[in-house]
Structure 1
Amino acid sequence: MGARRPTTTGAWPWHARLANRVLARELRRRTGANLSDLGPMRAARRAHLIGLDLADRRCGYPLEMVLLAAAAGWRIEETAVDYLPRAGRSKVTGTVRGTFRAIADMRRVLAESNRVRSRPHPSRLNRH
């Protein structure tokens, strides 16, 4: 996963940094992964990613991906990525509606993750 490292002071709005810090702490608690950022970038093999059976199609997707990957036993690591000021306005952190939508989506994913059982790692599926 990418861990944002802002290149300028205005690159990352304060409310987004604060929310991200809270989410990263919750992810560390739930997964044991040493994370500092929910990340603007995640990389995984396509077949394994599809095997996670992600359901969220909005703002909860990154959070759901990390939670399910950890439950499946994936190794999760961060690498620093430069975070530049946005050229346009963000649909999420640039609007009140987008921010509230992201909060609602992520709350739902966290609540649902309390009910989800661990799934087997995709590399262990269909092996006989």
Structure 2
Amino acid sequence: MSITVDVVLPCLDEAEALPWVLARVPAGWRAVVVDNGSTDGSPELARSLGATVVHEPRRGFGAACHAGLLAADAEYVCFCDCDASLDPGLLPDFVRRIAVGEADLVLGRRRTRARGAWPLHARAGNLALAAMLRRRTGLRLHDLGPLRAARRKDLLGLDLTDRRSGYPLQMVVRAADAGWSVAEVDVPYLPRAGKSKVTGTWRGTWQAVHDMRAVLRE
């Protein structure tokens, strides 16, 4: 019996990146583009390229991700940024690791391949959060990267409630608390297409760290 996989792609004005991203979604997998209020024609473009488009009017990374999870119906659900910084073509190995029992949740550890792909302030914030996560859960993780995969029913069982930048961290914290096996895989991190909505500025990074620290205080 073949496995089924949905790839959730939160999207806010990513028309420039969508063709590259959707072309790399593995054949036979469904791309679920969650539009979070785009004004550049992203949802229409995504639909024309064969993606399923879901609209989430509540702004927030977590709101978009969770809307995609709820819209998914495959056995496995993957998450990937929609800005061409990460390659969804790498996800089959993530799903394979889960299918054979190596892990319950697989995360991509971002490794930069080009100058400027990961701003210093964003990298510093990520390292600080990873250290706090290790103290909170004992997981020896280095990154809270958005490229990840798990079984849909298991993710729904985590009862995730954060709808802002803390969503990826809450997923890991609750998975650890539930006794999941969490694995980390190195993935190349490329310069994004267009302007970052979160970590492209100090203010955006501070807000993301603030949201995630609130999750750690749960």
Normalized against structure 1, the TM-score is what?
A: 0.82
Q: Contact conserved, 2:129 with 2:209, CA < 8 A, in 1?
A: no
Q: Contact conserved, 1:4 with 1:40, CA < 8 A, in 2?
A: no
Give percent identity, aligned residues only: 64
Residue 72 of structure 1, CA deviation: 0.2
Flag the structure with higher strand content: 2
| Counterpart Cα distance in 2 of 1:82 and 1:65 | 22
Aligned residue for 1:44? 150
Query: What amino acid sits opposite 1:8 in the alignment?
Result: A
- Which string of whole-angstrom CA distances, capped at 9 and with x for unpartnered residues, describes residues 40-98 of structure 1? 21211000000000000110001100000000000001001110001111110123442
**Mean Cα displacement is larger for which, 64-73 or 29-38?**
29-38
Aligned residues: 112
| Counterpart Cα distance in 1 of 2:212 and 2:132 | 11
Q: Which of 1 and 2 has higher RCO (CA within 8 Å, sep 6+)?
A: 1
Aligned residue for 1:7? 113
* Candidates 172, 195, 201, aligned match of 1:95: 201
| Counterpart Cα distance in 2 of 1:58 and 1:75 | 25
**Mean Cα displacement is larger for which, 34-43 or 13-22?**
34-43
Structure 1 unmatched ranges of 5 or more: 113-128
Residue 39 of structure 1, CA deviation: 1.3
**Mean Cα displacement is larger for which, 40-49 or 103-112?**
103-112
Q: Secondary structure at the match of 1:101?
A: helix
Q: Contact conserved, 2:136 with 2:216, CA < 8 A, in 1?
A: no
| Distance change >3 Å, CA 20–CA 96, structure 1 → 2 | closer
| Counterpart Cα distance in 1 of 2:190 and 2:125 | 19
Q: Contact conserved, 1:7 with 1:83, CA < 8 A, in 2?
A: yes
Normalized against structure 2, the TM-score is what?
A: 0.49
Q: Superposed, which structure 2 residues align to 1:63-102 within 5 Å?
A: 63-102=169-208
Flag the structure with higher helix content: 1
Aligned residue for 2:124? 18
Q: How large is the RMSD of aligned CA atoms in angstroms? A: 1.2
